[in-house]
């Protein structure tokens, strides 16, 4: 086999470094995307909590209406 020339070994090293940099950039982008997804999930959870609170309020209103109706029925005519 022929000995590797200095210029070739240098270019190989440079290519390896470039590839590593590209991989690092891609990993950073993936991490950013994951963070965005987590934020979106948190927002969805908050929305779900708000919906649950609204449902509880509706249930309370229905119970109050039922109590009022019962009181009207019980009152002597």
- From CA 29, how far away is CA 52, in angstroms rounded? 35
Mean pLDDT throughout 31-57? 92
Q: How confident is the model at residue 49 (pLDDT cuts 50, 70, 90)?
A: very high
Instruction: Give pLDDT tens digits for 12-43.
Output: 888 999 999 999 999 999 999 999 999 999 99
The more confidently predicted of residues 4 and 67 is 67
Residue 38 phi, psi (nearest 5): -60, -40
pTM: 0.50
Distance, CA of 16 to CA of 59 (rounded, Å): 64
The pLDDT value recorded for residue 51 is 92
């Amino acid at each position: 086999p022929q000995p590797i020339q200095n210029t070739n070994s240098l270019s190989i090293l440079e290519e390896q470094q470039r590839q590593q940099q590209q991989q690092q950039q891609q990993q950073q982008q993936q991490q950013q995307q994951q963070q965005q997804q987590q934020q979106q999930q948190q927002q969805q959870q908050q929305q779900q909590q708000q919906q649950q609170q609204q449902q509880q309020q509706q249930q309370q209103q229905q119970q109050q209406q039922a109590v009022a109706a019962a009181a009207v029925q019980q009152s002597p005519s």
